[in-house]
């Protein structure tokens, strides 16, 4: 079993969400896409574990 957390876990979630939007502010679509890609890679490195990453890839495929 993976350790993917799918219950609330983000500290100050409203602040994080605002930070995420702010990071994209003023970026073109291409710049935003590139930013997202870099962010995914940085977060993936933080997680590291293959099973957890695979579970995250799967979880992201489900839209509700």
Task: Count Cβ atoms within 10 A of the Cβ of residue 11 and give its class: 0-12 exposed, 13-18 middle, 19 or more buried.
Answer: exposed
Nearer to other proteins, 5 or 41 (CB): 41
What CA–CA distance (Å, rounded) separates 6 from 53?
13
Site for other proteins in 5-64 (CB under 8 A): 33-34, 37-38, 40-42, 45
Nearer to other proteins, 18 or 20 (CB): 20
For residue 17 the two structure tokens come to 């969400």
**How near is the Cβ of 38 to other proteins at its closest, in Å?**
4
Which residues sit at the interface with other proteins, rule CB under 8 A?
33-34, 37-38, 40-42, 45
């Amino acid at each position: 079993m993976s350790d993917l957390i799918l219950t609330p876990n983000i500290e100050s979630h409203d602040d994080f969400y605002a930070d995420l939007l702010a990071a994209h502010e003023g970026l073109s679509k291409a710049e935003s896409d590139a930013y997202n890609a870099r962010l995914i890679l940085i977060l993936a490195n933080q997680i590291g574990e293959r099973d957890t990453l695979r579970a995250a890839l799967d979880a992201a495929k489900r839209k509700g």
